[in-house]
Amino acid sequence: MFSQENAIRSIFIQEFKNKLPSKILKSPYELKIYPVLSDIEKAVFDSYYTLSDDFYVLSETTPVADKNLIIDVLFRRYSGWFSELPDIDSVNNDFNISILQDTHKDNLENPYIEQKLTLFVFGSLDSYLEMLYIAKIIKSIRITKVLSIEKRQVKGYQFDKLYSSGAMSMIPNSYLADLFGKDYYVRQLQFELVFCEI
């Protein structure tokens, strides 16, 4: 049996990956992502990304296999996802995303669980604009029953609703958060979801 926390983190990661490759900010692409690519990865990125203003934009005709490679490469940079608080190894990441479960409503007569979440996006001090952009991608994640059941089922749970329910905000009275002695910029997002065990 999978835990609810694991399923919730997995559905966020799944939807985040789906949105991640469409546009990449110019500066982090040129300074942090592209220089560490292998020759094969560079060839794929060169083939399907074009510069438009402040973004590199992915071609809509990118083959599925190449798009999956791009997603895997990009996600390496944003793979610090945690249920509850990040662990001590998180200080090695430029980005950490932490999901905290705030309220939980269920009963024996209704199999559906209603939950409110707070999600924190932490970005290192040299990644402020990139952190804001990643937070906006996460805020745009939305699941409804319009999606196929297969796309809404993750690790033993089915999600019927998942949506952002408030403005993106800073932690009150602070611009920075300290994670194990390292300072991060941080943004706070609120989500609501409805799901059930299958």
Q: Mean per-residue pLDDT for 145-169?
A: 92
Q: Mean per-residue pLDDT for 52-67?
A: 97
pLDDT for residue 2 is more than 80: no
| pLDDT class of 101 with cuts at 50, 70, 90 | confident
Q: Mean per-residue pLDDT for 69-86?
A: 94
pLDDT for residue 105 is more than 90: no
- Residue 78: the pLDDT is 96
Structure tokens at 93: 């990441």
- Percent share of the chain, pLDDT over 90: 80
Helix ranges (DSSP H) in the chain: 4-19, 26-28, 39-48, 64-77, 128-139, 149-152
Tens digits of residue pLDDT in 22-53: 999 999 999 999 999 999 999 999 999 999 99
- Residue 111: the pLDDT is 83
Instruction: Quote the CA–CA distance of 9 and 98 in Å, as a whole number.
Output: 9
- The mean of the pLDDT values for the chain is 92
Q: Mean per-residue pLDDT for 96-125?
A: 86
What backbone phi and psi angles, to 5 degrees, belong to 5? -60, -45
- Residue 1: the pLDDT is 46
The gap between the terminal CA atoms of the chain, to the nearest Å, is 10
From the number of C-beta atoms within 10 Å of its C-beta (0-12, 13-18, 19+), residue 75 rates as middle
Global pTM? 0.91
